Amino acid sequence: MRERIGQRPFELIALGVAATIATHASHLPLWLTFGAAGAISMRAWLRRRSAKPVPAWLRLPAAALLLFAVIEQFGTVFGREPGSVLGCGLLALKLLETEHARDARVAVGFAGFVLMSALLFEQSLAFTLGVSLILIVLLAALVALQPAPIETARPLRAELRLATRLLAAALPFAVLAFLLIPRLGSPLWGAPGRDMEARTGLSERMQPGAIGELLLDDTPAMRVSFDGVPPPPSQRYFRAIVLWDFDGATWTRERRDGFLRPESAQAAGAPLNYTITLEPTDRRWLPALDMPLAAPGGAHFGADRVLIADDLISQPREYRMRSATVYKLAPELTAKERERALALPDGFDPRSRAMALRWRNANDESGVIRSALDLFHASFTYSLDVPPLARDSVDDFLFSTRKGFCEHYASAFVVLMRAAGIPARVVTGYQGGWWNDSSGYLLVRNSDAHAWAEVWREGRGWVRVDPTAAVSPARIELGAAAANDASAWSQSVWLRALRNEFDFANGLWTRTIIRFDALRQKSMLTPFGVDSANQGDLLLAFSIALGVFLLAATLWAMRDVARTSDDALDLAWTRFARRLADAGVARKPGEGPLDFLSRARRALPASANALGELVQNYVALRYGAIEPAPERVRAFTRAVRNFRVSTRVS
């Protein structure tokens, strides 16, 4: 009959399984999150009470129900998201039957596979370090499953220490495989599923108030390196999406822009050259400093001068840009373009329209724009804590709530301009960022997401107007952190500064690890005379490097067998013999303990009693009829550690 595994190995496996599933929490459905947590907790509770594993007649229907639920929700089991959901569910079910060593090893192996699949969704430095810690727990579970040579149970710290060493020993091989195993030109996980949901929150739809959660998201959106001096904060507008159409509640970018001509941009000042490293968004929008003059490779301009990538941005993307912060955009407007830029839904926001008409009757276009900005400056507040708006959202905002953030002000401003007969549209993207002096790049976070307006002026074209600047100049000059609520500990100044400084490591990780693609791999062997390495060259280099690594590892392991022995008693005896050798009494090859004791007593009479006690104790432990108790072995080890050669006769 197979023997049950001990309680500690089981608890380590349960902890590793729970932590592995937690790495997928961001994309797991709630029913699986709570179901897996309940199953793991129940199994751990039953195991502590020595109950039997969950029977197969319960596990099999649960597995079938899991498969049905995944297909029902995703329509398939293929792809990153449905595949990971199915894997996490099966891993939780596997723990329900884990009772013996074979099942335990299968559970650990499966957990390792599911754990590595989490890196398909998130590859930041902090996340990778977290995955490594969980991997140490899984390796410690494997160590705990192995019987100890003398002790009936190793200390937990010893198991974790050995697991860490095993992971460290595998690291050189992992580095070789990462660098030299030929990699695919496109991701392996490009299978169907719900994998194309955006990550940044910027989209073709903007409803005032919907971007609030994004403004509290401090994860990096992109990093920008300038060839020269970076522009001042007031000019750090990164254009991403232009929204034309308003239905009374939501701004959208409808796919009916065929009549729009490509808008031309002319630089009126010295252009800026810079490089953007964009984090994955699973969308095609490429933010660029307002105003981009040319599209990078693999991208094109939309009709309204936004950059659109040819493929979804599912991996960090680096692209070179050239932009002008002083420019003239689309100095002419056709009748259809003007009609679209003035369109407002019927029956919405009557008070706002009436106020805009009064402004227009008393002022020219510049006066209308100034009246709107003066209104915001005089009696409005920038805040992320805003109530939901009524059906007439602009009326409710302008005449009732009078507080909001960038989306509210951009939306209300464009409605007022259109009601006054001034063509206008909403632009979303990013504004500001944190300049890293030591590394020389601008860090733009998702919390720097911003919305502003563009109005069309005769002879000048589309002109940027940011109504948020009239309400909260600090938002533009000092960034999102200065305007957003910093009372929470997560938004404190010291913590943001620490995250900003740590981002240098994140940026280095992205450049050297995440963006190490097939093209960079092919150029790795250039110093060795191979201009563009093919698969054969890479595999040959990998084989040579692996051979050198294995030879070095073998020589290191053979350098001193005694030092790598798992026998605690032998290790203590070896330490004792080495200490006597340092005192001038070296043990001869093949010399028994008692003969060694006899010579040592003659050479070191001052330590004769201590030597006799230690050697006799060792002989009893090593050559006794029964296996020594772990407590006696540990006592002998402590005695050897405390032994000192005496030069004075007592």
Q: Count Cβ atoms below 10 Å from residue 254 Cβ, excluding itself.
A: 11
Query: In terms of C-beta density within 10 A (0-12 exposed, 13-18 middle, 19 or more buried), how is residue 265 classed?
Result: buried
Q: What does pTM read for this prediction?
A: 0.64
**Could you give the C-alpha distances from 185 to 191, 381, 399, 468, 521, in angstroms and in order?**
15, 50, 56, 44, 11
Distance (Å, whole) CA 320 – CA 305:
17
How sure is the predictor about 472, in pLDDT bands with cuts at 50, 70 and 90?
A: confident
Position 407, amino acid: E
CB 386 within 8 A of CB 401: yes
Terminal CA-CA length for the chain: 59
Structural tokens at position 35? 């179901």
How sure is the predictor about 150, in pLDDT bands with cuts at 50, 70 and 90?
A: very low
pLDDT at 255: 59
CB 328 within 8 A of CB 464: no
Active-site annotation holder among 349, 395, 466, 503: 466
Inform me whether the pLDDT recorded for 298 exceeds 70: yes
| Segment 594-603, tens digit of pLDDT | 888 888 888 8
**88 has catalytic annotation:** no
Express the helix, strand and coil content of the chain in percent, nearest 5 each.
Answer: 50, 15, 35
Structural tokens at position 406? 């960038």
Nearby residues of 178 by Cβ (< 8 Å), 6 or more positions away: 516
Tally of residues, the chain: 650
Q: Is the peptide bond before 291 cis (omega within 30 degrees of 0)?
A: yes
Tokens 């050897």 -> residue: 640
**466 has catalytic annotation:** yes
Active-site annotation holder among 195, 290, 408, 450: 450
Strand, helix or coil at 270?
coil
Which of 35-39, 92-96, 201-205, 450-454 comes out lowest in average pLDDT? 201-205
| Segment 502-540, tens digit of pLDDT | 777 777 777 777 767 676 777 777 777 676 777 777 788
Distance (Å, whole) CA 484 – CA 507:
25
Q: What are phi and psi of 272, to 5 degrees?
A: -110, 135
Active-site annotation holder among 304, 406, 448, 503: 406
| Segment 396-437, tens digit of pLDDT | 888 888 888 888 899 999 999 999 999 999 999 999 888 887
| Segment 609-636, tens digit of pLDDT | 888 888 888 888 888 767 777 788 888 8
Inform me whether the pLDDT recorded for 214 exceeds 80: no
Inform me whether the pLDDT recorded for 197 exceeds 80: no
pLDDT at 187: 47
CB 115 within 8 A of CB 131: yes
**408 has catalytic annotation:** no
* Buried/exposed 393-415: b ≥16 CB within 10 Å, e otherwise: bbbbbbeebbbbbbbbbbbbbbb
pLDDT at 1: 45
| Segment 536-574, tens digit of pLDDT | 777 888 888 888 888 887 887 776 544 434 477 888 888
Strand, helix or coil at 420?
coil
pLDDT at 299: 93
pLDDT at 190: 40
DSSP category for residue 458: T
